[in-house]
C-alpha cells in the first residue's frame, strides 16, 4: 500500500494492528496451555477474550473509514510471538521455573508493542478529526495498559519470586 497521506498511514496502521491482534488470538491459547500457574493461565485466557474484542473493534473502525482491515501481515507481532515460542520450547515445565517469568516477559513485550501502536493510531485519527475512531482506539489502548499492569503485578508478586526461589 502506498502511503501518501496521514489517512493512508492510519489505514496501514489499522491493517497492521488487525493482523497483530489476529496473530495474538492464535498464540494466546498456546501460551495459556504452557502456563503452569493458574493465575498466569487465567490471565492469558482473559486476554484472549479481550483480544477478540480488540480485533472486532478494529473491524468496526475500518468499516467506519470504508476500508478493509485485511491485507497486511504484522511482522513486528510475528517476531514477538516467535520469541515467546522460544521460551515455551526451551523452558522447564516446573511451575516454579523461570519459564513462567519468561512467558510474562514475552507477553509484556507484546503489550508494549500494542500500546505504542494503538497510541500512534489514536493520535493520527485525532489529528485527522476522526474523534470517534480515536475514542475507540483509546479504549483498546487503556485495556492494553491494564493488561500490562496485571502482568507486572503477577510477575513481581508471584512468578518472579517463585523463579528466584527455585534457584536456591
Q: What is the pLDDT of residue 165?
A: 78
Q: What is the pLDDT of residue 131?
A: 98
Q: What is the pLDDT of residue 141?
A: 98
Domains and CATH numbers, the chain: 6-165 (1.20.1260.10)
What are the C-alpha distances in Å from 58 to residues 22, 62, 163? 11, 6, 37
Q: pLDDT (tens digit, 9 = 90+) per residue, 49-79? A: 999 999 999 999 999 999 999 999 999 999 9
Q: What is the pLDDT of residue 160?
A: 83
Note the pTM of the prediction, 2 decimals: 0.92
Residues of the chain with confidence (pLDDT) below 70: 91-97, 167-168
Residue 165: alpha-carbon gap to chain centroid:
29
Q: What is the pLDDT of residue 57?
A: 98
Residue 12: alpha-carbon gap to chain centroid:
18
Amino acid at each position: 500500500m502506498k502511503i501518501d497521506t496521514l489517512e493512508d498511514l492510519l489505514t496501514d496502521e489499522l491493517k497492521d494492528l488487525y493482523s497483530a491482534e489476529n496473530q495474538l488470538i492464535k498464540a494466546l491459547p498456546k501460551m495459556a496451555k504452557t502456563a503452569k500457574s493458574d493465575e498466569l493461565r487465567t490471565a492469558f485466557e482473559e486476554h484472549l477474550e479481550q483480544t477478540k474484542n480488540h480485533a472486532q473493534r478494529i473491524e468496526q473502525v475500518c468499516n467506519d473509514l470504508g476500508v478493509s482491515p485485511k491485507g497486511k501481515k504484522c511482522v513486528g507481532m510475528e517476531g514477538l510471538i516467535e520469541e515467546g515460542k522460544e521460551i515455551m520450547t526451551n523452558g522447564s515445565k516446573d511451575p516454579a521455573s523461570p519459564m513462567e517469568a519468561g512467558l510474562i516477559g514475552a507477553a509484556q513485550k507484546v503489550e508494549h508493542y500494542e500500546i505504542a501502536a494503538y497510541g500512534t493510531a489514536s493520535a493520527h485519527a485525532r489529528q485527522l478529526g476522526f474523534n470517534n475512531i480515536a475514542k475507540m482506539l483509546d479504549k483498546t489502548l487503556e485495556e492494553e495498559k491494564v493488561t500490562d499492569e496485571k502482568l507486572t503485578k503477577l510477575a513481581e508478586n508471584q512468578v518472579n519470586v517463585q523463579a528466584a526461589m527455585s534457584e536456591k
